[in-house]
Each structure stands twice: as structure tokens, then as C-alpha cells.
Chains A and B, each alone.
Chain A
Amino acid sequence: MAGMRAINRPGRRGWLTCLALACLSIFLSACRVVSAGAVQVASNATLPAIGNPPSQDSLLKPTGIPTNTAAYDAVRREITPSSAAFPTLVMESAPAVRGQRPRLSPSPTLTPTSASTLKPASPSPVFPAAEPARLSPEDWKLWPVIPQVPSNARRLYQQGLALGNDPHAFSVLGDCQSLPDIFMGIYGTDASLAAGLPLGLQAVVANFTGSFNRDSPTVKSGATAGAILWDAWHENKYTCQTGETPLDCELRLHKPSIVIINLGTHYETRNILYLRKILDRLTAQGVVPILATKADNRELDERLNLEMALLADEYQVPLWNFWAAVTDLPDHGLFVKKGYEIQGEIYLSEEGLARHRYTALQALAVVWAAVR
């Protein structure tokens, strides 16, 4: 009897232990199921529709409408300082250490530098009564900094106005070096700086008020041409809609009549394909694109600047040859930014940035004058 009790007592404990282990195993198995994230699939559930990709817009062909040369020549005289001086922003100190961007003084002042700093790699651009002489894209390094404006640009502009584009709005497509506080925003925020500009440029600043210091879905750090066409790149900010590309969002919100395409430092293998899509979209909307070359040669063979020249030639649109504006600067106006070493020598020094914004304004002025 005593032996039976001895067997029974541990038996009850054993069953309890067994039950506990079973519960534990069930619990562990349940956890495994949840982590798998599986969901029962209804085999005959209705599939919600998913939109088709937008159709590709057609390319508008140049028609050879003459350039408005009188206004063009007048503005060209006005945007060029009489002493051929080139304004730069005075820095607090020269960049002593590579990798550190010098700071701007709180109230930048304009100081002239020698005329040679803005001397283009080729003779000054010629603005003929009709179509400007064709420049060979292969010789893009010899193209003037300030663009020649094909007559197609005027045709696009006029078409764009008829479509509702705003003659007082321009936009920028670009990466971090196109952000307003680095690029042209200062023209919209510093009245004293604007007042010191040549008259032709003052007129540009006045006409495009509201476009210089403006955040937009088409300007963002690390942006590539592909990113401007990817419908999630805007992160649903700026009231951009789901499924809307940053470019389409910008066109809808700002209705620019001119767009500066300042892309290329960040590129991908299909860069030119995406640039074509961007140009197709802009020209179909009657927006005048200003293509731009870049100062860096991250790709090592300068093919991205060549692509820009090829596209300018193919689409008959202006090219702002920024590359040629910084040839005389140390390291081509570039430096390696601290904390961004992996990106390489792609960031513009303070003097490079000054030329960037100023020659961009000149390019905008010349194009605006030619298309009106």
C-alpha cells in the first residue's frame, strides 16, 4: 500500500509537468506561426485593379521659329557686367582644409573677380537672327557657359503658355546642390544681393519671384534622373499624390515655363533613358528645359556631360555649360565633403557654388529673353 502511494504521488506531479511542457510547446509553435506572417488566402477573392503605367508622351519637333533676337541681345548686354566682373559671395575665410565647406558670411556682399573667371572655353556665344549655329556635341567642352537658345525653345515656351504654364515660374530638377539654400535661393531671400545684380538679372529675379527659394519634390539629396520619375521618391510630401512622379507633381503644383535640369552627379547606367523621358514629358507640356553640364567627373570618362550635349542637340534645347565655368578653379571647384567621403569629390566649393548660382541665373536670363 505504501508502495502504491509512492507510485501515485510522483504520477500526479508527472502529469502536471507533462501538461506544462505540452502548453509550452503549443505556445512556441503558435509563436512560430505568427512570425511567418501568413494569411489565409481566399482562392476566389476579387483582385483590386492596379493602374497601368502612364503612356509615353511624344516628342515635339523643332519648327524653326526665329528667336526674339532684339530682346535677347538687350538682355545679354544687361546680364553681362560692364566691367566683365563676376560676382562671388565673400567667404568668412578661405577653405583651409579640404573636406570642409567654408561658411558664408551672414550678409554676403558682391565683389568682382577677374573677367577671366567666367571666360567660356569658346568665344562668346553668337545669337544670330535665325537659328544659332549648330555646335557639335562631341565638342561640348567648347560650348559657351551661357547657352545658345535654339528657336525650338521659343516655340515650346509659347505652346506652354497656351497650355497654362506660368511665365513667372521656373523649376529645378536636381540633387542636394540644387537645394534652395545652396543654389539659387539667395536671390529670393537677399534683397541687397539682388539689388547689386546687373539690371538684366534683376529683371529675372523680379519676374521669377517665388521660384528661387522654394522647396520642391524635384530637388532632393541623392536624386538621380530615375528618381525624378519614380512615383515614391517624393515620399508623399508637398501634396504629391500616390502614383504621381515628382516631375508630374512639380508640373502640377508650380506650372513652370522653364525647368533647369541640374542632374548627373548622381547617375545610373540608364541615365540617358530617363533624361529622355524627362525631356519628353517637359516638351509635351510646353516647358523649356535648360540642360546643364556638371563640374565633376565621377564617371571618369565625362560621358554624362557628353550625354547632356547630345540631348541638347537632339531636342534642340539650351545647354548651360557649367563645366566650362569652373575650369580655372582649383580642383575644378570641387571638394570631398566630410561625412560624405563615399560620394567622392563631387561637392562644389564655395567659389564653385557662387559660380553655379550666378551662371544659372545668367542662363535663365538668356533663355527667358529668347523665348518671350
Chain B
Amino acid sequence: MLKAQVSQAGWGEFAILCIATSLLLAGLLYACRPSTHPAAAAVEAYLRALVNKDETRMTSLTCKAFEAEALLEYDAFSLVATRLEGLRCQVQGSSGSAANVTCQGKIVATYGAENQQFDLSGRIYRVEKEGSDWLVCGQ
């Protein structure tokens, strides 16, 4: 009887200890994780706005000087259905208020039964910080 009580008490302590340790480790790792750079996040948001045909959102993520080029790409897709596949962007170089961002993945454009694929891996997006926002300023 006593043996059983002691055994149960031991398991309980260890279980609590394990959960606490796991939570602590997970918390530490989450806090210390290298987060997505805001410049890369801006490019991802820009590309999502492009394929979602959200002109307002897309232009809000571009520098004024780059807007015409961004709209050209936007307009090129105006009558084809578009989606992103495997998008992942990362910063390749940064100098405080500017960064170069490359991406993996592709834009798939569908016209009727025809698919066209636009590989994103060859592009380098120039992203600049204006105020608190990172904006796509070149490609």
C-alpha cells in the first residue's frame, strides 16, 4: 500500500518536472529563434498582393519610384489566374535601411487549361526602409 503511494507520488513529481522542463526549453528556443527579416516579409507580402490582384495593397508595399514597374507586372497578370507555390524569401545582404531579398518558389499563371510558371529564384528584390515600413524598391 505504502509502496504504491510512494510510487504514485514519484511519477507525479517527475511528470511535472518534465512538463516544466519541456515548456522552458520550447520557450527558450522560440524566444531565441532567428525571425524572418522584415525586408523578406515585405517581399513575401508584396508577392502575395500581386497574385491576389490586390493593387492597393501591392502599391502600398512599393516605393513610388518602383510603382510603375510593379504595376506592369501586375497588369501582365491581369487576365490570368495566379497563385504562389513554395514562396520563401530571405535577405541576402543588408545595410541597415536597405536589403537585397531573394525568394524561392514560383508564380503559376493559369489561362484556361494552360499553365505558365514564373520562377522567382532568379530575382533580387531591393527593399528599403522608409519610416517604419520596408518597401520593395527595385527588382
Q: Hey, which bits of chain A sit against chain B, CB under 8 A?
A: 2-3, 6-7, 10-11, 14-15, 17-18, 21-22, 24-26, 28-30, 32-33, 36-48, 50, 53, 176, 220-222, 224, 226-227, 229-230, 232-233, 235, 242, 266-270, 274, 337, 339-340, 343
Contact call A268/B7, Cβ cutoff below 8 A: no
State whether A38 touches B35 (Cβ < 8 A). yes
Q: Are A48 and B124 in contact (CB under 8 A)?
A: yes
Cβ-defined contact, A37 with B89, below 8 A:
yes
Determine whether the beta carbon of B112 is less than 8 Å from that of A337: yes
Cβ of B78 and Cβ of A226 under 8 Å apart? Answer: yes
Is the pair B69, A53 in contact by a Cβ cutoff of 8 Å? yes
Task: Return chain A residues, CB-CB under 8 Å to B23.
Answer: 25
B60 within 8 A of A: no
**Pair A43/B96 contact, Cβ less than 8 Å:** yes
Complex-state Cα separation, A266 to B98, whole angstroms? 37
Instruction: Give bound CA distance, A340 to B99, whole Å.
Output: 42
Contact with A along B30-49 (1 / 0, CB 8 A): 10011111001000000000
Residues of B within 8 A of A (CB): 2-3, 6-7, 10-11, 13-15, 17-19, 21-23, 25-26, 29-30, 33-37, 40, 69, 71-73, 75-76, 78-80, 88-96, 98-100, 109, 111-114, 116-118, 122, 124, 126, 138-139
Name the distance in Å between B75's Cβ and chain A's nearest Cβ.
3
Q: Smallest Cβ distance from B94 to chain A, in angstroms?
A: 5
Residues in B neighbouring A48, C-beta threshold 8 A: 92-93, 100, 124
Beyond A2-B3, A21-B21, whether A29 also contacts B76 by CB under 8 A is: no
Task: Say yes or no: A47-B36 contact (C-beta < 8 A), given A14-B14, A22-B25, A226-B76.
Answer: no
A339 to B69, CA, bound (A): 32
Interchain nearest-CB distance for A42 vs B (Å): 7
User: How far, in angstroms, from A90 to B35 measured CA to CA in the complex?
Assistant: 65
Write the nearest CB–CB distance from A51 to chain B, whole angstroms: 8
Distance from B74 Cβ to chain A, minimum over Cβ atoms (Å): 8
Nearest chain B CB to A325 CB, angstrom units: 24
B11, B98, B109: the one within 8 Å of A222 (CB): B109
